A and B are shown apart, each in its own frame.
Chain A
């Protein structure tokens, strides 16, 4: 049953989403792909949409995927499921278990979890960038247009940091990438 799947799938995401929004993206990809809820393409678009609309990225993705699978009810179920674990954990920690996070065994578990999340995010980023430029492993081919856009965006991202002394905002990068897409693929 789709509503139960949505609930369990996003509950899993909510329970394991360490490391903020970008830590959660690989997890959501994993869950979404394994249930076949969205294609790889749609997933990327929705990450961009979530990044460009207000609110936590995880909540945005859950709402969209829920509504695409089971309408309004699906959106409510997926969103609640993704929020529920952090809601309950904070309540527990503030109300009862103030010291549990300082426990040395809990800390040892967290010391293993955090680098693993970073590794997962790194792998996802590398895979997405290379996948865009060279296609999947089963049919490797150079995608020249994608390489051009990648080069432009990377140059902008690092060039901007050097001259403006702060980071190019993700939203601005997405806007520029959209324009570059229209220009490069349009011709």
Chain B
């Protein structure tokens, strides 16, 4: 089979059958691309995951782009990335077409009120998980707590300040402190 077609279909399959995104997808990608197709090695897969954590964007997209590029260059990267995006695009597109009528039903409206609560809890839970994995040092903790307080104020008092500005400030502070400390060579790297 044509490699481009194969890349597209394999990633489309991964995109169709993984719910919840993120780490669930990594397991699927590992299973398909490393074990079955042997497109990339396990070590490469680990490297991509680390790169994915240091670069913005969905992890699944990062993995797909990398694998596609390795196998068939730019066009391969495009085919794999399209493969992972198209299934969710189609599903959401269909849902968005029926969503408005659906919302008018009382049962649905009540169910959604319940779901809204679950979403808050899921986000809180994700934050707690990330805090547990954070390096246990003063500076990251201080940045985390300050960001949380500022962001809470932004939300509660509807301050006109975007979370992107907040992230840029945190990056500048961290870089400044690093340079003021004489830019020491790091042992072990960041974030872990």
Question: Quick one: which of A58-107 are within 8 Å of B by CB?
Answer: 58-60, 63-64, 67-68, 72, 75, 79, 82-83, 85-87, 89-91, 93-95, 101-102, 104-105, 107
User: In the complex the two chains form, is B119's CB within 8 Å of A47's CB?
Assistant: yes
Q: Would you call the interface of chain A mostly helix, strand, loop, or mixed?
A: helix
Chain B neighbourhood of A59, CB < 8 A = 58, 61, 85, 88-89
Contact code string B65-95 (vs A, CB < 8 Å = 1, else 0)? 1100110001001000100110111011101
- B168 CB to closest chain A CB (Å) equals 9
- B90 CB to closest chain A CB (Å) equals 9
Contact code string A105-117 (vs B, CB < 8 Å = 1, else 0)? 1011111111111
Q: Does A163 contact B (CB under 8 A)?
A: no
Nearest CB in chain A to that of B140: its residue: A115
Size category, A interface: 35 or more
User: In the complex the two chains form, is A112's CB within 8 Å of B61's CB?
Assistant: no
Q: Does A6 contact B (CB under 8 A)?
A: no
Q: Does A37 contact B (CB under 8 A)?
A: no
Chain B neighbourhood of A85, CB < 8 A = 56-57
User: In the complex the two chains form, is A182's CB within 8 Å of B21's CB?
Assistant: no
Residues of B within 8 A of A (CB): 15-23, 25, 48, 51-52, 54-62, 65-66, 69-70, 74, 77, 81, 84-85, 87-89, 91-93, 95-97, 103, 106-107, 110-128, 130-131, 134, 139-141, 143-152, 154-157, 162-164, 166-167, 169-175, 177-179, 183, 185-186, 189-191
